[in-house]
A and B are shown apart, each in its own frame.
Chain A
């Protein structure tokens, strides 16, 4: 186990505790299931922290016959909390709780990577290949912000790092396999390849996986881009008009692209070739 994980997991009378941090906020997770503790420690290895003075949430995850029951703060009783069927759902629920510690951010279902002090946003639904593209770019020297959900600071027009361990699909696996855990593998990132500070948004790329398609990166019209961004919003209702105004301004200000591809490393090379000069302009 990684040293930072040992630091953050404390075993006390069959209950293991993790502290997971996002910017200055943290949540504390306690669980009686060792597999949950290990899975979360791996998933959030780059976000684990010492015990916070005052966590935003305290969460309990208890093993049950049907999966795992997740309880927030003072929830109690046999039917309290939510029942999650598997570890993948546990990871997602904990990620959403972290997201809720920063409601002032506009959260997008998107990946994000950065180079030269400027970020490329990769919004897209499940199966579009956000993780594969993000990790392919990181493998060639880009810096990681997130592979699945990104918080946007609308005042600063910057993407906030949410460096959950990326899960990437094996290239040979079918997209619609029933057990996605079986077809995804963790992509280990070094701490050095992860952005620590928010990065200004310079470009948005909407990836779309198409079997056997060559990598094609084309400019996208602003109307279509804005609707795709709305579809990616995870907390749109919290921001309403402010989010609409921000998205309208964003698509007017930054170049937006549609990417169709079938092989992520080739798509990443196409992004690098086309977008690097644009990122240079932003950071310069």
Chain B
């Protein structure tokens, strides 16, 4: 489920032609379009009017996700690939999936580095 506020917060850009959804390759140490992120079960989240507060009990660190990052976070359920997330968000963001893909990949990479998501075990 995409956060309702994502529509107004996701930055809009004019669509570009000839871009491929799978233009970002899967890389060792990075995330590619087929990467399936899953929120770690130990991570706790709290909803705020303008985003989400996320707490990682392992690192004892808290993070604030704005509406755009929250929209990505909501779709990190182990079922959606990064390409799927970009596709789903594009339906409410007024941008093409190809345009959104790098931003989504960057967001997921960051969530991965912070230990908030992991790769789906079945992937």
Contacts and interface: CB of A to CB of B under 8 A. Distances in A.
Contacts of A248: 46-48, 53
Interface stretch (A22-30, A95-103, A149-157, A238-246): A238-246
A247 B60 contact: no
Given A226-B53, A240-B55, A245 B46 contact: yes
A237 B49 contact: no
Given A248-B53, A251-B48, A227 B60 contact: no
A240 B47 CA distance: 17
A249 B60 CA distance: 19
Contact of B46 (A221, A224, A236, A244): A244
A244 B44 contact: yes
A221 B55 contact: no
A191 interface: no
Contact of A223 (B44, B57, B60, B64): B64
Interface in A217-233: 221-224, 226-227, 230
Given A241-B55, A241-B57, A222 B48 contact: yes
A244 B49 contact: no
Contacts of A221: 49-50
A184 to B, nearest CB: 32
B57 to A, nearest CB: 6
A252 interface: yes
B62 A230 contact: yes
A237 B51 CA distance: 23
Interface in A178-231: 221-224, 226-227, 230
B64 A227 contact: yes
B7 interface: no
Interface residues of B, number: 14
Contact of B44 (A227, A241, A249): A241
Nearest to A233: B62
B119 interface: no
B66 interface: yes
B50 A244 contact: no
Nearest to A230: B62
A240 B55 CA distance: 8
Nearest to A248: B46
Interface string B74-90: 00000000000000000
Contacts of A222: 48-51
A161 B16 CA distance: 60
Contact of B48 (A223, A237, A241): A223
Contacts of A249: 46
A233 to B, nearest CB: 9
Interface of B: 44, 46-51, 53, 55, 57, 60, 62, 64, 66
Interface of A: 221-224, 226-227, 230, 236-237, 240-241, 244-245, 247-249, 251-252
Given A244-B53, A248-B47, A248-B48, 15 more contacts: A223-B50, A223-B53, A223-B64, A223-B66, A227-B62, A236-B60, A236-B62, A237-B60, A241-B55, A244-B44, A244-B46, A244-B62, A245-B44, A248-B53, A249-B46
